[in-house]
Amino acid sequence: MNSTPVLHVENVDLVREGNPILREVSLTVRAGEHWALLGANGAGKSTLLSLLGAFAHPTRGTVEVLGHRLGRVDMRELRSHVGHVDPKHAPRSPLTVWQVVLTGLTNTAEWVPRWGPTAEQVALAERLIGLLGLSDRRDARWPTLSQGERGRALIARALMPSPRLLLLDEPATGLDVAGREQFLERIDILQRTYPDLASVLVTHHLEELPPGTTHVMLLRDGCCLAAGPADEVLTSDQVSKCFDHPIRIVRADGRWSVRAGGPDRSRVG
């Protein structure tokens, strides 16, 4: 296993139009770790994810992605080695699931003319489509897919370049209960299939955390309120402070849920 951290963020500030969005944020993600960025709307989660995905530079501090420091590397080239799942991804053409997954190799929204995948690349695409539970939808056109199916297809697409890092920005947004559970089941399978893959997931709903989540950062008003192993960070006290509301955290069968009420550190299961 590569000993270099997959991500290393140190004392990062990000200011836009004079407004501080992130303040003194530090984070280190290693191979095989699965982090969640948790916080209320406007806490800075997606902004931090944009730094981790090499889409933005910090105003102050340092960000290293896959061992490369932002500001000293070709950002576009670096992004091609990061599996970024963008729920807003929308090809203009009615591509099939199979085609959408393969566009992960060309890093384009559309099928590239006069380009064709190798036999090995086709085999990988088929394997990932099966892993994400989409084999029976392989030839379905993008406009006919449910939101949950699109999300899982985009994860397969992000994995085509065999990245060491997978970034997911609120992947369960808009899913019904069945879609959310199918998504979480496939993420669990994915994490067990690729034990060295690191991931960072953004959400503001604890119910959307995969059971394999190993670490959590709580963000409030652009600042890190707490960060570390999930069981140490996800206490009722700390989550209540993060969301500025009395919340009781319950964990059962590896999943987290929220109850109204005052802080209570007890856990179930």
Tokens 């000993």 appear where? 3
Those residues whose C-beta lies under 8 Å from the C-beta of residue 175, and which sit 6 or more positions away, are: 147, 148, 151, 183
46 pLDDT tier (thresholds 50, 70, 90) = very high
| 263, pLDDT greater than 50 | no
Long-range contacts of residues 159-162, Cβ cutoff 8 Å, at least 24 apart:
159/83, 159/104, 159/128, 159/190, 159/194, 160/101, 160/102, 160/104, 160/105, 160/121, 160/124, 160/125, 160/128, 161/80, 161/81, 161/83, 161/104, 161/105, 161/107
| Burial of residue 6, with CB atoms counted within 10 A of its CB: 0-12 exposed, 13-18 middle, 19 or more buried | buried
- Whether the predicted pLDDT of 265 surpasses 70: no
Q: Is 2 a residue whose pLDDT tops 70?
A: no
Please tell me the pTM assigned to this model. 0.91
Residue 227 parent element (H or E):
strand 223-229
The pLDDT of residue 13 is 96
Two tokens, residue 58: 């910090």
Is the C-alpha dihedral spanning 57, 62, 66, 68 positive or negative? Answer: positive
Our CA dihedral for 238, 241, 242, 243, rounded to 10 degrees, sits at: 130
Give the range with max mean pLDDT: 44-58, 83-97, 107-121. 44-58
Q: Which residues, at least 6 apart from 15, have a Cβ–Cβ distance to it below 8 Å?
A: 21, 59
Which amino acid appears at position 53 of this protein?
G
Dump strand ranges (E) for 86-204: 165-169, 198-203
The maximal CA–CA distance of the chain, rounded, in angstroms, is 61
- pLDDT at position 260 is 79
pLDDT of residue 18: 87
Pair of tokens at residue 54: 């090499």
Mean pLDDT, the chain, integer: 91
Q: Are 170 and 202 in contact (CB under 8 A)?
A: yes
Instruction: State the sign of the Cα–Cα–Cα–Cα dihedral 174, 107, 214, 184.
Output: positive
What the chain holds in terms of domains, given with CATH numbers, is 1-82+163-235 (3.40.50.300), 90-162 (no CATH)
Quick: pLDDT tens for 189-234.
Answer: 999 999 999 999 999 889 999 999 999 999 999 999 999 999 999 9
Q: Are 89 and 37 in contact (CB under 8 A)?
A: no
Handedness of CA 207, 208, 211, 213 (dihedral sign): negative
Determine the average pLDDT of the residues in 28-37.
Answer: 97
- How much is the pLDDT for 264? 47
| pLDDT at residue 249 tops 60 | yes
For 125-157, what is each residue's pLDDT tens digit? 999 999 999 999 999 999 999 999 999 999 999
